[in-house]
């Protein structure tokens, strides 16, 4: 099942696909997808992101793949929904998207063995986790200003139940900028697979319902600019649309 959270007519609703460009609200009303404000499909708790979790992307950025996951946390202000606007600072010269499979946790998880990882996963959604390379400061990467900027983590549109994804380890990811494909990869090329990540993370921290793991992006990142429409899509999970805007939209 695919579920979304939208704001419409002064209230927040759960929604499901209704065919074409329409969605069905929980009360049965069918409306156009552009008639609502899309929220992240889950009320995200802790957002945990993986850096360089595809070997080809690490090579693309001239970094060696690591022996242990490169993990960092993201603040709640970073997260927006489908069809949202992401700010590009005026001084940025290299800002790029990152199409990622996002794993949504569905139960309290502590010391979970990788063989039991599926039991604590609620489902999956699409993430587009922007980075601004100008702000890298030292070998601790990615640092706070690169990966914790307001509006730079887009989630949605759907939360897809784990049982509806036959094999999360074999899904095609792709990104299009203004209708032109710029990135394509597959989750089979993850350096650290999802079951391992669940085991690794829960070995030292407790994950809870609504926590989200962003699993990394493959090679193919390019600079995006104000006015660009970026579409990140994952096979069977969804098609996430986002627009880049300038400082003036945020009165800065």
Mean pLDDT confidence for 172-194: 97
Of 40, 39, 12, 41, the C-alpha closest to 25 is 12
Global pTM value? 0.93
Our measurement of the distance from residue 17's CA atom to the centroid of its chain's CA atoms, rounded to an integer in Å, reads: 20
Q: Most distant CA pair in the chain: distance in Å?
A: 52
Fold of domain 40-250: Fumarylacetoacetate hydrolase; domain 2 (3.90.850)
**pLDDT number for residue 97:** 96
**Residue position matching structure tokens 């989200």:** 212
Residue 62 CB burial class (10 angstroms; 0-12, 13-18, ≥19): exposed
Cα three-residue angle 82-97-99, rounded to 5 degrees: 70
Mean pLDDT confidence for 19-31: 96
Q: Is the pLDDT of residue 56 over 90?
A: no
% of the chain exceeding 90 in pLDDT: 83
**pLDDT number for residue 55:** 73
CATH entry, 1-38, from 2.30.30, 3.40.1620, 1.20.1250, 3.40.50:
2.30.30
Check residues 212 and 251 and name the one with the higher pLDDT: 212
Mean pLDDT confidence for 190-202: 97
Mean pLDDT confidence for 211-232: 96
In the chain, domain spans? 1-38, 40-250
Q: What would the pLDDT profile of 108-164 be if each residue is shown by its tens digit?
A: 999 999 999 999 999 999 999 999 988 876 544 556 778 888 999 999 999 999 999
Q: Is the pLDDT of residue 65 over 90?
A: no
Is residue 157 a contact partner of residue 139, using CB atoms and an 8 Å limit?
no
- For the chain, the average pLDDT equals 92
What does 23-45 look like in DSSP terms, one character per residue?
EEETTS-EEEGGGSEEEPSS---
**pLDDT number for residue 199:** 98
Mean pLDDT confidence for 77-90: 96
**pLDDT number for residue 141:** 54
Mean pLDDT confidence for 151-179: 97
Q: Is the pLDDT of residue 29 over 60?
A: yes
Q: Which backbone phi and psi does 146 adopt, to 5 degrees?
A: -80, -40
Q: Which residues pair with 155 in a beta bridge?
A: 127
**pLDDT number for residue 60:** 59
Q: Is the pLDDT of residue 48 over 70?
A: yes
Q: Which backbone phi and psi does 35 adopt, to 5 degrees?
A: -90, 0
């Amino acid at each position: 099942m695919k579920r979304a959270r939208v704001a419409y007519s002064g209230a927040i609703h759960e929604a499901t696909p209704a065919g074409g460009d329409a969605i069905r609200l929980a009360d049965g009303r069918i409306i156009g997808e552009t008639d609502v404000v899309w929220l992240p499909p889950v009320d995200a708790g802790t957002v945990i992101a993986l850096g360089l979790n595809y070997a080809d992307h690490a090579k693309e950025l001239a970094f060696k793949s690591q022996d242990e996951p490169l993990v960092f946390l993201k603040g709640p202000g970073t997260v927006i929904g489908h069809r949202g606007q992401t700010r590009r600072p005026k001084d940025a010269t290299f800002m790029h998207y990152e199409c990622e499979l996002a794993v949504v946790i569905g139960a309290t998880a502590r010391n979970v063995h990788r063989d039991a990882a599926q039991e604590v996963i609620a489902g999956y959604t699409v993430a587009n986790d922007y980075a601004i390379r100008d702000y890298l400061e030292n070998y601790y990467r990615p640092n706070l200003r690169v990966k914790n900027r307001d509006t730079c983590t887009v989630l949605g549109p759907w939360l897809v139940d784990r049982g509806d994804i036959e094999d999360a380890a074999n899904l095609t990811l792709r990104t299009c900028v203004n209708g032109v494909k710029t990135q394509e990869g597959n989750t089979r090329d993850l350096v650290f697979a999802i079951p391992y990540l669940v085991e690794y993370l829960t070995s030292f921290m407790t994950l809870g319902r609504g926590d989200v793991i962003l699993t990394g992006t493959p090679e193919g990142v390019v600079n995006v600019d104000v006015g660009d429409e970026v579409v990140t899509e994952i096979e069977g999970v969804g098609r996430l649309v986002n627009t880049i805007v300038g400082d003036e939209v945020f009165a800065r």
